[in-house]
Chains A and B, each alone.
Chain A
Amino acid sequence: MFDTALTANDLIFLAKGAGMTLIVTGISVLLGTILGILFGVFRYQVGPWWAAPLTFVLDIFRSIPLLIQLVLANAFVTTVLGFRISGFTVACGVLSLYTSAYCAEIVRGGIESVPTTLRRAARSLGMTWGQDMRSIVLPLATRVALPSWIGLALGVMKDSALVFIVQVVELLKSTQILITRLQEPLFLLMICGLFYFVISFPVARLGGYLERRWSND
């Protein structure tokens, strides 16, 4: 009854695409989070007036569609600057900045959620700014920011499907290649969706687990 031309070889091909999705997502979320923490702390520390230029740049990354960012960044780097770098590098760079723009907001919100009175109490006990940030703000803010951060990571994983435009063959592009060859779009898209689910679900569950674990003390 059910007949398909899909072979084990093609499944390996899809798995390779899924691997590429994971690598691009992993690098982007890691770099994006590091940058996001730096940007978020900076924005909170210096206040809205001095952070305005940075806020403006981050707003650009948040408000222009990722697809356009990728195409423009690729064109800028390869034709204007004349560097011959791989699409993979461009994809990771753009996606990292894109992630950092969202992450900066999450971090800023997390820091703001820590009561000012608590932080003043810490400083009046003789803690330095660094000690205050590490021992008071970090544990409290992380709890608040974690759910949004998990949401961001999952969102970036799905947004990474757009990096095909700079010739990175990730999961969705691999699926499209197979669709062109085998002409079974619905079946292949279902398999592709299943792959995305398999890689997203553990991350979502890990988030849920951490939330529960950290909330009962």
Chain B
Amino acid sequence: MRTSILAAWAVAATAVALPAQADKLDDIIASGTLRCAVVLDFPPMGSRDAQNNPIGFDVDYCSDLAAALGVTAEVVETTFPERIPALMSGSVDVAVASTSDTLERAKTVGFTIPYYSFENAVVANEKVEMSNWEGMKGKVVGATAGTYEAIWLEGKVKEWGEGEFRPYQNQADVFLALSQGQLDATVSTVEVAEANVKSGNFPGIKIVDKAPMVPDYVALITLREEYGLINYMNLFINQQVRTGRYAELYKKWVGEGEPADLTVKGVYR
């Protein structure tokens, strides 16, 4: 009698314990599709081409991840605020959406190692002699008022004690002033700088150097408890850099030059 009760308990316990086994990594492979949340109004990371198909760095990154898993990629368009809700509600598996790895977000979702990093570049008028970012010392510089780079630049001008800082209303005004020679140099994200140089709307400007600001590291995200998938994606990001695919995608979507270093000196991970 006692044995049968014990056996019944054992059976019941196994029945309760069993369903928790297949994790998201298994689910994705079994279903044959990887659903990525991508922000598509954020070029060059995500946008749409003339046929309204999703394109961009993040879209290619999602396809690469799907190819590595041996499944097909499905891009699900989300806005920046919708990324995490889409993940939590199960309508996507991962978000490849330039998500900054803040500690606040890490309380809700699981981050991989950084897969991209937004750095800032020094852009100067071609007529100005400048070989690196320190060449801005004593020059007339400007940026969009209130932005991270404007605060940094203004601080630098104060620190140097020479030169002048001019705030502008928006990014286009800054580049116009730079192109017309009212400014000697400015600081903006590498992506914006590359796009503006490439567009030809602002003749006579060039990218000089990267600004030594703390870069904005962005990572892939999935549910916090999906360690299997996070481990897989960490290795995937490592492989992307190792095989040169990272540099290739950077060249394709951002432009010439070195892609950002994804390691931080002096600390693990």
Contact = CB atoms under 8 A, between A and B. Distances in A.
A74 B50 contact: no
Contacts of B77: 177
B52 A181 contact: yes
Contact of B31 (A75, A84, A167, A177): A84
26 contacts: A7-B50, A9-B50, A9-B51, A9-B52, A10-B52, A13-B52, A71-B89, A74-B90, A74-B91, A75-B88, A75-B89, A78-B90, A79-B89, A82-B27, A84-B27, A84-B31, A87-B91, A166-B91, A167-B76, A174-B52, A177-B48, A177-B77, A178-B52, A180-B40, A181-B48, A181-B52
Nearest to A84: B31
A185 to B, nearest CB: 13
Residue from B27, B40, B47, B77 whose CB has the most chain A CB atoms within 10 Å: B77
Given A75-B89, A87-B91, A178-B52, 8 more contacts: A74-B90, A74-B91, A167-B76, A177-B48, A177-B77, A180-B41, A180-B48, A181-B52
A44 B61 CA distance: 57
Interface of B: 27, 31, 33, 40-41, 47-48, 50-52, 76-77, 88-91
Nearest to B19: A82
Contacts of B33: 84
Nearest to B92: A167
A75 B90 contact: yes
A166 B92 CA distance: 10
A180 B77 CA distance: 12
Nearest to A78: B90
Contacts of B41: 180
Contacts of B52: 9-10, 13, 174, 177-178, 181
A26 B31 CA distance: 29
Nearest to B35: A167
Contacts of B48: 177, 180-181
Contacts of A74: 89-91
Contacts of A174: 52
A71 B33 CA distance: 21
Interface in A24-76: 71, 74-75
A79 to B, nearest CB: 4
B90 A79 contact: yes
